[in-house]
Structures are given as C-alpha cells and as structure tokens.
Amino acid sequence: MNRLVTRLVLSHLVVALLGALTTFLVVRQLAPRLFDESLHGLGMGQGQGLGPSGTRGALRSQLVTAVDTSLLIGGLVGVLLAATFGVWSAVQLIRPLGRVRAATHAMAQGRYAADVPVPRERELADLAEDINHLGATLSATEARRTQLLGDVAHEMRTPLTVLDGTVEAMIDGVLPADAETLTALTDETRRLRRLAEDLSALSRTDESRLVLQPSPIDLSEVACAAAERLRAQAEDAGLELACERRADGIRISGDADRLAQVVTNLVGNAIAATPPGGRVTVTTGVVGSQALVSVTDTGIGLTDEDTERIFERFYRVQGTRRTAGGSGIGLTIARSIVRAHGGELTATSAGPGSGSTFEVRLPR
C-alpha cells in the first residue's frame, strides 16, 4: 500500500466501483418506475386487465432482470477498463519519476552531468528541469571547488618554496641569518597569513557569516581616508592619486572598516593596473537614493571577458603588477562586503588600454 503505483491503481478501481454501484442503485430504482409510467402512458394500465400478475408484471420482471444483468456486466467491464487504465497511467507517471530518482542517485555519487529527459506533463517537466538545473549548478560548483583548491595550492607554493629554500640556505651557511634574510622570510610568512585571512573572509561571505558593525558614517571621509593610506604606494609607482569628495559629505549607515577594506582593495588594484605616469581617481557622490564611490584609473583596461570574470576567485587580468602579493580573491570579498550592505559593486571599461572604473553603489 505504500507504493505509488498500487495507490494509483486502487484509486482508479475505487472510483470505478463507486461509479458502478451508484449507477446500479439509481438505475435499479428508476427503471421499473419509468417502465410503469411508460406503459400507463400507452394505455396498458390496470384498468385494461393487465395487473401486476399479468402481462405487465411479467414484462416488468423481465425488464428488471435485463437491467440488473446489463448493469453487472457494464460494471465489471468498467472496473476492468479502470484497472487497465490505472495501471497504464501509473506506469506513465512513475517512469519519469524513476528517471528523476536515478539522476538524483547519480548526483549523490558525484556524477552531476546526469540529465533527466523532460516529459510532456507540465508538472513533471518542471520537476525534471529543476533537477537538470540542480545538476548543472552542482557541476559548476564542483568545478569552482576544484579550481579553488588548485589556486590555493599554487598561491601557497611560492612562499613555501622561498621559505624552504632560504631556511635550507641558512642552515648550509650559504645565506647569513641577518636582518635582510630574516625580513625576506617575514615577508613570505606575512603573505601566507594574508592568504589565510582572505580565505577565511571568503568562507564567511560564502556562508553569509560576514559580520558587519554598521553605524552612521561619512562615506566620503571613509573612502578618501582609505585611498590616502595608499598614496605612498601610488607615488612609488609613479602615479597621481586624487580623491574627489563632496564638501557636505555623504551620510550612510555602514561598517566603516569593511567599506575602507573595499576601497583599499579597489585603489590597490588600480595602482597595480596603471603604468607610471597614470592617474587613479577616487570619486564620491550621490545618485538618486544611492551613495556612490567610484575608482577610475588610466591603466590597462578590461576586455569584455575580464569585466564578466574579474570578480571570480583567483581570476587575474593579464598585465597587472602584483607588487603587493595579493591573493587574487580581494574583489570577490569586496563585492560580498558591498552586497552585505545592500549595495552592488560593478566594473566597466572602454576596452584594453582605456582604463577601467569600479563603482560601488550603497543605499543611503
């Protein structure tokens, strides 16, 4: 009784039996009365000598017998047809569900490419399409996970190789244990620590566990202060760094430290992407009900593919300088921070060699 096929067949049989029983009772009650009325209308009533024990009674008895026999035969035929149709319809329903079940089992074993044929029935078709979409999503997620592991291993390999080689050289006496050598080791350990912190932040954003501490802030002040901290780096790279802010400020509710992290990442990337003699400009303003922070550079620009993929983990634009030893997931974290504030972070560019603009929009 717990199988869907059995329930569907039984439901057809129950409907058929109830229909047959109802038909039998109604016809059994109405047929004799209608027969008597018909004879009375033809002038064959009792007044003409045809009483219940006469010809009319015999005809009435034969009619009842014929009706009962016909109803029984019709009921049996109806029940058999209902059972046959019930089995057929149950099989038609269960077959696509079986394909869905097979696909989910394959996905549970890691075979996300399992495809469910879309049946004609709209409800089952929606279910099959949802399962196919789930499989495609899981496949893409697995591909990103595999790529992430490879990228993390690649990011860790360089500093670990430097650390291992330097320490071994110090042990062999090739390199002295002086301040310069120890500083190089410290730089690599800091790079590893920065990678670990970025991965931890990325994990929190993916799991929606990013903790914000919002308070009333002046977005112009936060953005310009964050940019100012990178002025020395911009000057070392031979760049001009400017921050254009509103005189009256932009008051919003947000986490000042997190938003400063976003601006720092955007300005740092702009410096890395701009050749000497270029310019990086931070602009703050208001557009309708939104507060705006844009970082524009005169650097290498972005292709259409770069614009779509720049926020992916570990994706890097060809031609940028990586003097800061970035982990390659800063923009991913920056977009997550902005979205956690209810805003959006986008990138635009006129093409390679034309510079680019990263724009943060936040609700006021």
We report the CATH number of the domain holding residue 194 as 1.10.287.130
52/18 same-domain check: yes
198/221 same-domain check: no
pLDDT digits (tens, 9 = 90+) for 202-215: 676 665 666 788 89
Alpha helices (H) along the chain: 4-41, 55-108, 122-172, 179-206, 219-228, 231-236, 256-273, 304-309, 330-340
Q: Within a domain: residue 345?
A: yes
The H or E element containing residue 243 is strand 240-244
Structure tokens at 140: 């893409």
235/358 same-domain check: yes
For the chain, what is the domain count?
3
Q: For residue 299, is pLDDT > 70?
A: yes
Of 11-20, 187-196, 330-339, where does mean pLDDT reach its minimum?
11-20
Q: Within a domain: residue 259?
A: yes
Q: How far is CA 109 from CA 97, 127, 135, 137, 224, in A?
A: 19, 20, 12, 15, 51
Distance of CA 18 to the CA centre of its chain: 47
For residues 259 and 305, what is the distance between their CA atoms, to the nearest angstrom? 26
DSSP 199: H
For residues 256 and 264, what is the distance between their CA atoms, to the nearest angstrom? 12
Of 35-39, 175-179, 225-229, 237-241, where does mean pLDDT reach its minimum?
35-39
Of the candidates 265, 268, 214, the one whose C-alpha atom is nearest the C-alpha of residue 241 is: 268
221/195 same-domain check: no
Q: Within a domain: residue 122?
A: no
Amino acid symbol at 252: I
Q: For residue 40, is pLDDT > 70?
A: no
Q: For residue 136, is pLDDT > 70?
A: yes
For residues 285 and 246, what is the distance between their CA atoms, to the nearest angstrom? 6
Q: For residue 243, is pLDDT > 90?
A: yes
Q: Within a domain: residue 121?
A: no
344-349 β-sheet, strand order: 240-244, 279-287, 290-297, 356-363, 344-349
Is 107 within 8 Å of 135 (Cβ atoms)?
yes
SS3 of 230, please?
coil
For residues 253 and 250, what is the distance between their CA atoms, to the nearest angstrom? 10
For residues 267 and 273, what is the distance between their CA atoms, to the nearest angstrom? 10
Q: Within a domain: residue 99?
A: yes
pLDDT for 218 equals: 94
239/182 same-domain check: no
Write out the residue range of the structural domain in which residue 159 sits. Answer: 139-206
